[in-house]
Every structure is written in structure tokens, then in C-alpha cells.
Structure 1
Amino acid sequence: MRIAVYVPLLLCLIAPLGARPLSERCEPRLATWLLTASALVLGTATTICLGMLAVTGLIRFPQLAGLGHWSAHTAQLDDPAELSIALIAGLLLGGAVLMAARMLWRRARTLAAAALQAACMPAEDGLVVVEDEAPDAFAIPGLPGRVVVSTGMLRTLDETERHILLAHERAHLTAHHYAFVALAQLGAAANPLLRPLATAVTYTIERWADENAAAATGDRTRVARTVGKAALATHDTHPHTPDAALGIRGHHPPLGGAGPVPRRVAALLAPPLSRHPVLSAATAAVLTATTLSTAEAAHDLHRLLETVGAW
């Protein structure tokens, strides 16, 4: 436990560095799975490790150690963690649990409201058209889900572009993208260091839907044009959207610093991405190291509790 308990915490400093490469160089569906798994596993592991460190501090107090029939004196001699570290871990653990619980509650309420709204919407083949001059389109998860498109968006796009838009939004529903976002955000709520992973998931699900639309239509260039056209139409209606997010400033910044829409367009204009075995293997190695170190730390804590209980 002296080293193993800190490994997941250290990996949480390193893992976010891989969020951008994974989202930009790896096939979107696989990237979404890897990023979501990373956020969830690392968030869970760090919470467990903080809990184990907090326990090592609690058993140093005679009143608390007595509840588990442990020796506080023995714990003070054999405990590998400093008391200050254990107390800090306890405070961080409380914050992580509180933020994760708050996120789960808000997400559950949002999904329940979305499902109820979807069930109440009259739809034809899962499509709901609303009378609104503002161009807009989005998917509402439910049983079944709905694709909502405004009349303003339908007038903005031609017939082929409408099919592309619907294919994109339906991909969000059929692939349950809302679940990937929720799980990644849960991991980031437990550990704010993992927020880049959750942010990357919100991008890769859009890329995933883009690729589904490209596969359905067989025209990547047309899909790229539709993505840009819909984004610009939405921007004209919602001017508070940052210009850089849509890449429409007077100068042309490097793509690496561009917002998600120009990056999606550039990806569609390029050949489809591969599974990138190196990045996949690196992510698998991080998740394996996290799992094994957490299990090792739990085993060490079990041995420590056995030692301080032998009195």
C-alpha cells in the first residue's frame, strides 16, 4: 500500500494528456469507449484509494479504532501513511462523493425529464418537427427516443443535407451516446483532473455520429459541408457562441487550437481514422495498471487491518 495506493492518483495526472491524441487520431467509436472507460475506471480507483488512505487515518484514533476492535497504538506504528496525508485524503474523498452524488442526481433528473418529454411528443418515424425559425436539431433519449428538428433548420438545408442531419442525430440515439457522456462525467465529477477525458467524449460522440452519417450517405465531403452549414446557421441564431468554436474568425488559426466543428469538418475531409493500436495499447496499459495497483492497495490495507486487530 505504500506505493500502490498512490499509483492511480499519479496516473490521473498523466491520463488526461492522452485525451486529445485519442480523440483526434483514433477511430471515433473506439476512442469513445476508451475515453469513457478511462474516466470511469480512474475516477472509481482514485475514490477507492482516497477511501483507503482515509481509513488508515481513522484507525489511529482510539475511539474509532475500538469500533473495529483494532489497536490504535499498533496502527500508529505500522501505518505507512502520514496522518496529514490520511486527513487530506478524507477531505478529498468527501468532496468526490458529494460531487459524484450531485452529478448522478442531476443526470438522473435530466434523463427522466427527457424520456417523459420524448414520450409525450407526437412523432413520425421518431422525428419531431417543431415550428421555430431558429435553426436547431437535437436528439432526446427515451423509450423510444426522438429526433427534434426545427422548421428553420429544415429550410436551411437541402434534401440530401436533411438526410445527413437525421442520420447524425439518429446515430446518437441508436448508439446511446448520452450514456457514454454520463459515465465520463461521473468519473470527472469524482476526480476533476479527469475533466479533459469527459470533454473529449463529448467530441468523439459527435465524430462517431458524423462517421455514421458518412457511412449511410457514402459522401464524406457532403457530410462535412452539412456539419459546417448547420453550425454556421446555429451560430447566426445564437451569437453568444464563441467565434473560435466554429472557426469563423478573420484569420485562420492552426487546427490544433480550433474548436470542435472545424476539427470535425477536417476529419471528414480526411480519410477515415484507424483503430491506432499504439494508443489503444497505451490506454489498456493505464487501465490495467490502475486496476492492479488498486487491488494491491486493497490487499495491503486488509493485511494492515489484520495486523492492528491482532491484540
Structure 2
Amino acid sequence: MIYAVWVPLLTPFVAVPAARRLADALPPVRAVRLLAATGIGLALCGLLALALLVVPGATRFPAVSSFGDLVGPLSAIAPAAAVPLAAAALAVLVGCAVAVARASRRHWAQLHRPARPGRTEGELAVVRDNRPDAYALPGRPGTSGRIVVTTGMLRALDPDERDALLAHERAHLAGRHHLYLAAVELAALCHPALRSLRAPMGYALERCADEAAAAAVGDRRIAARAIGRAALAARAAEGEERPRPRVALGAAVGPVPRRVAALLGRGTPRPRVGRAAAAALLACLVVSGAAALDATSDLHSSIEVAQGEAPHH
């Protein structure tokens, strides 16, 4: 256990560089799913490893030892290091739990927050505001969410471009993209290395919506033009921009030039890089999970020995 338990805590540092290559090298939908699985899987394995580090030190206390019917100390970790290591691991676990609880509550509170006063037509809320802005505001389970767009953004685009922009935001709502973003955000609270997954996940989600918008209007050039003009209009009024809810997703954010180039077919396809990055991430998930299970099995055997029983394999 003493060696295997550290693998899930170190694997994210190896996985993140490969994750950064996915968004451009794989189809957006596959990239989103793999990034979400990577973040959640590595975060859970890391939390399990921290929990395993707590147990040997906790059993040094008589109350815990008697509760577990232990007749001897666990041999997994040296006595001098067991208690300090367990205290540190417990502190990190508690910190992660508090951070995840707060983030989850904040995410829930912001779902389908009422838009600024304006005209509402079904899923579309048109806000009287000269500042160009548009975003998808997801709803709570059982609700469809809402597309918020200002009159300034509507005036900045041609009719075909408006259709593409609304199709983009509609794709965010239909795909429940905020859940994938929330999954990566929560994973990042459990391990510092996983914070680097936020950017590639955000980009991949915008690419998913870009492709959906292009399919909806039947013209990739119109979709690319709509995204570019919306971003330019929003950037021109950037100093006056009002803060959006964190759960909101919009077409005019992120690396817009890369997205426009991808829509216009100017990006360089790199299927080999995508396959290699995907294989590396899957390998990291397998190694991390196997190490966590191996450490769990070793700890279980140590507990059986400490209870005076023969370990079962």
C-alpha cells in the first residue's frame, strides 16, 4: 500500500498534458466525454487514496483500534509517519468536501436565475441593453433553461447570423453542457493538477455547439461569421460587460479564432495525436484505478493481520 497509494495522487500530473491535446485532435463530442471521465475518475481515485492514508494513522488511537478489534498496529506505514500523514490527508479530504459542497450549492443556486428584465418568448429572453451579449442559462432538472440575448447583440448580427447564434446557445441547453463543465470544476477542487482541464473542456464544449449551429443553419461559413462577429461586438463593449452566472455558456468566449478556423476547415486534423492522447488518458485512468484498488486490498490484508486473522486473497 505504501507505494501504490501515491500513484492516484501523482497520475493527474501526467494526464493533464495529454488532455490539453484532445480538444483539437478529437471530434468535440468525444473530447468532452473523455475529458469529463478523466476529471471525475482521477478525482475519485485521488480521494480514495487520501482516505486510505487516513486509516493507518487513525488506528494508532485506542478508540479506533478497539472499534476495529485490532490486536496489533497496522504495518502499512511506519509509526512515526502514520499519524502526521493521516492528519494531513484528513485535512485535505475535509477541505475538498467543503469546497465541493459550496461549489455545488452555488451551481444549483445559479441554475435558471431570472434574466434581466426584458421580453421573454419561450426559451428566449431578449434583454433591452445596448451592450452585445448572449448566453445559454441552463435550468434545473425538469426545466429547459433559457437563452438570454441583448438587443445590442441582435442589432450587431444579420438575420442568418442571429439564427446561427441562437442555434449555438440552444445546443448548449440541449446537450446539458453545464453539467460537463461542473464535473470538471468539481474535479479541480479535489486535485490541483485537474484545474488545467477547465480550458480544454470549455473549448471542446464551444466546439460542440459550433458544429451544432453549423448543422442547424446548413452553412459553416455563416456559423463561423456569426461567432466571429458576436465575439468582436462583445469585445468592443468589454469594459461595460456585466458579470454572467458561472453556469452560463456563450458563443463569444474562449479562443474564438481557433473555433472559427475549425469551422472553416483551416485547422490541421491530427487523428494520430488524438488517438495517442486518448490512449494516454485511458491508461492513466486504468493505472490510477488499479493502484487505488491494490492499495485498498493491501490495507484490508493489513487490517486482517492486525486483527489476528490470516489475510484472505
Return the TM-score normalized by structure 1: 0.84
**In the alignment, which residue of structure 2 is the partner of 1:128?**
125
- Which one-letter code corresponds to 2:37 in the other structure? A
Structure having the higher helix fraction is 1
**In the alignment, which residue of structure 1 is the partner of 2:161?**
161
* Counterpart check, 1:289 vs 2:292: no
Following the alignment from structure 1 to structure 2, what is the Cα–Cα distance between the partners of residues 121 and 308? 68
Following the alignment from structure 2 to structure 1, what is the Cα–Cα distance between the partners of residues 240 and 193? 28
How big is the shift at 1:50?
Answer: 0.4
How big is the shift at 1:57?
Answer: 1.1
Contact 1:53 1:85 in 2 (8 A): yes
Distance 1:239 1:262, change over 3 A: farther
**In the alignment, which residue of structure 2 is the partner of 1:189?**
189
Give the share of equivalent positions with the same residue, in percent.
40
Contact 1:55 1:86 in 2 (8 A): yes
Following the alignment from structure 1 to structure 2, what is the Cα–Cα distance between the partners of residues 175 and 53? 38
Matches within 5 A, 1:265-276: 265-270=260-265, 276=274
Contact 2:118 2:128 in 1 (8 A): no
How big is the shift at 1:274?
Answer: 7.5
SS at match of 1:149: strand
How big is the shift at 1:233?
Answer: 0.7
* Counterpart check, 1:303 vs 2:298: no
How big is the shift at 1:152?
Answer: 0.8
**After the TM superposition, which of the residue ranges 207-216 and 170-179 deviates more from structure 2?**
207-216
Matches within 5 A, 1:142-157: 142=139, 143-157=143-157
- Which one-letter code corresponds to 1:227 in the other structure? I
RMSD: 2.3
* Number of matched pairs: 287
Contact 2:119 2:126 in 1 (8 A): no
Distance 1:240 1:299, change over 3 A: farther
How big is the shift at 1:136?
Answer: 0.9
SS at match of 2:149: strand
**In the alignment, which residue of structure 1 is the partner of 2:256?**
261
* Counterpart check, 1:27 vs 2:27: yes
Query: Which runs of 5 or more residues in structure 1 are unaligned?
Result: 242-258
Following the alignment from structure 2 to structure 1, what is the Cα–Cα distance between the partners of residues 110 and 149? 20
Contact 1:27 1:274 in 2 (8 A): no
- Which one-letter code corresponds to 1:26 in the other structure? L
What does the per-residue CA deviation read over 1:175-220, in whole Å, with 9 as the maximum and x for residues that have no partner?
Answer: 0001101111111111122001123212211111011112222322
What does the per-residue CA deviation read over 1:93-118, in whole Å, with 9 as the maximum and x for residues that have no partner?
Answer: 2222222222122212222xx2x637
Contact 1:31 1:204 in 2 (8 A): yes
Matches within 5 A, 1:4-153: 4-71=4-71, 73-75=72-74, 78-80=75-77, 82-83=81-82, 84-111=84-111, 114=112, 117=114, 123-142=120-139, 143-153=143-153
SS at match of 2:205: helix
Following the alignment from structure 1 to structure 2, what is the Cα–Cα distance between the partners of residues 196 and 130? 34
- Runs of 4+ with >6 A deviation: none
Following the alignment from structure 1 to structure 2, what is the Cα–Cα distance between the partners of residues 167 and 14? 37
Following the alignment from structure 1 to structure 2, what is the Cα–Cα distance between the partners of residues 286 and 123? 47
What does the per-residue CA deviation read over 1:118-142, in whole Å, with 9 as the maximum and x for residues that have no partner?
Answer: 7x99743522212111111111212
What does the per-residue CA deviation read over 1:225-246, in whole Å, with 9 as the maximum and x for residues that have no partner?
Answer: 22121111111112378xxxxx
Following the alignment from structure 1 to structure 2, what is the Cα–Cα distance between the partners of residues 265 and 298? 48
Following the alignment from structure 1 to structure 2, what is the Cα–Cα distance between the partners of residues 123 and 296? 56
How big is the shift at 1:271?
Answer: 5.8
Following the alignment from structure 1 to structure 2, what is the Cα–Cα distance between the partners of residues 271 and 303? 57
Contact 2:51 2:93 in 1 (8 A): yes
Following the alignment from structure 2 to structure 1, what is the Cα–Cα distance between the partners of residues 55 and 119? 54
Following the alignment from structure 1 to structure 2, what is the Cα–Cα distance between the partners of residues 21 and 61? 47
SS at match of 1:292: helix
- Which one-letter code corresponds to 1:282 in the other structure? A
